Structure 1
């Protein structure tokens, strides 16, 4: 039986991180043809080689999501290799923990460039190919910290809040043009980005204590939501936000 993404070409940013890797692996199992991108060519080559060995059709591309030129090259390589693009999953992101007064200008600029500008550039550059698909999906990765305040991580929260509303306005703009746009909002997920914090604090990590399920989520649990939004099962879903947080924002 064909997979849920059979016939589709999907470009994933941040593909070698925790959520990105889990999404790439799941999409490969569901028969997507993949364009895997990351800022590290070596890391993305290694992941692509492993998935190819398992039978996936994969193109590995180095991509700095904050660079218009890098995006243009990635999209052109996608066009040349596959001739189409049906799914864009913007996952690449960085975090900076200081609050308003302690955040530096350099720290602010880096987070905004990757998380916010990178998401916009991805949609801007890939949209012509996505529109040509006629049945395309964009999945942008925000965060629960794009929905509620934490009193810290000023730049990160600003960027993720921006991704939430950028997603909604793009969804309205392209609703009758064959492209759906939705955002995913992970809670505490056991990824390399926060693993050191989880190792130090374990189940007593404050956000885990506040999570009704009393545990961190797994990258695979977020990837399952990415799959739903990428595929045709979500054909009447656009401009929506999907929270994967064990109930953290429910109270």
Structure 2
């Protein structure tokens, strides 16, 4: 019988990019990776949020292992600049968590062209070109792992989020397609699909405690998820422990999509 290494993955000497790393799931993932000895690059669109995130992450690591870069994932020029900064600082990437995204909760007739373009630019175009720019850096490391943040809404229709859900379905398919495309370069590509996770986006959608309790009641585990739940899943997919997993989607949803709550 093959022995399975159950030790917590250590990321010592590994370089990982986390886009949208200033809050929520991105920030939690950056913190976890730093605690596991990685060199981490986080991005965000706002300098103030980047500074705040750096201060919070300083408890997990010294400044030498954290690099913050102001970059808008929807701006190809910013992404080119990000790749150059990483190339100058580290020369390579071992992993990417393509996490940057925006929420949009409007019914179909309420969606403007500008709102549609913004969601698609960040959630799909931004993810695609983030990965494209990262490829030479992953090649320089001899391969690596990419994890894309998708959503449970790609598995079940959500009436108030048609454009958001469609953009997440697009990156879910992108993970499968790129998993096939990049396998020969020793680059694995997977996605995670978080369920109801307590983040700024979620509390903006459901600010009242009563609404949050009602949502939690639809989850078989009878609770809302935390950003740390997603961070652990992402770290697993980025680590060598998942070396035979690619082109897959990992639901981190407390059973929301595939099970009904008990009575």
> Same-fold call, TM > 0.5?
yes
Question: Do structure 1's residue 171 and structure 2's residue 179 form an aligned pair?
Answer: yes
Distance 1:175 1:128 in 2: 14
Taking structure 1 as the reference length, the TM-score comes to 0.94
RMSD: 1.8
Of residues 135-144 and 55-64 in structure 1, the stretch that sits farther from structure 2 once superposed is: 55-64
Across the two proteins, how many residue pairs are aligned to each other? 251
Q: SS where residue 250 of structure 2 aligns? A: strand
Q: SS where residue 138 of structure 1 aligns? A: strand
Which of 245, 248, 254 lines up with 1:246 in the alignment?
254
Q: SS where residue 24 of structure 1 aligns? A: helix
Q: By how many angstroms is 1:103 displaced?
A: 1.3
Partner of 2:20: 14
Question: Conserved in 2, the CA contact under 8 Å of 1:94 and 1:114?
Answer: yes
Question: Conserved in 1, the CA contact under 8 Å of 2:9 and 2:239?
Answer: no
Q: By how many angstroms is 1:54 displaced?
A: 4.2
Distance 2:257 2:207 in 1: 23
Distance 1:101 1:188 in 2: 25
Q: By how many angstroms is 1:204 displaced?
A: 5.5
Q: SS where residue 176 of structure 1 aligns? A: helix
* Ranges in structure 1 where 5+ consecutive residues have no aligned partner: none
Of residues 68-77 and 42-51 in structure 1, the stretch that sits farther from structure 2 once superposed is: 42-51
Partner of 2:3: none
Counterpart mapping for 1:174-189 below 5 A? 174-189=182-197
Q: SS where residue 60 of structure 1 aligns? A: strand
Question: Conserved in 2, the CA contact under 8 Å of 1:182 and 1:238?
Answer: yes
Question: Do structure 1's residue 79 and structure 2's residue 87 form an aligned pair?
Answer: yes
Distance 1:240 1:139 in 2: 10
Q: By how many angstroms is 1:3 displaced?
A: 6.1
Q: SS where residue 151 of structure 1 aligns? A: coil
* Ranges in structure 2 where 5+ consecutive residues have no aligned partner: 1-6
Taking structure 2 as the reference length, the TM-score comes to 0.90
Question: Conserved in 2, the CA contact under 8 Å of 1:203 and 1:214?
Answer: no
Counterpart mapping for 1:25-44 below 5 A? 25-44=31-50
Partner of 1:108: 116
Of residues 189-198 and 141-150 in structure 1, the stretch that sits farther from structure 2 once superposed is: 189-198
Of residues 44-53 and 119-128 in structure 1, the stretch that sits farther from structure 2 once superposed is: 44-53
Partner of 1:98: 106
Distance 1:154 1:3 in 2: 37
Partner of 2:231: 223
Shift in alpha-carbon separation, 1:223–1:202, aligned structure 2, 3 A: farther
Q: CA offsets, 1:67-89, max 9 Å, x none?
A: 11100000100010111111111
Q: By how many angstroms is 1:106 displaced?
A: 1.1
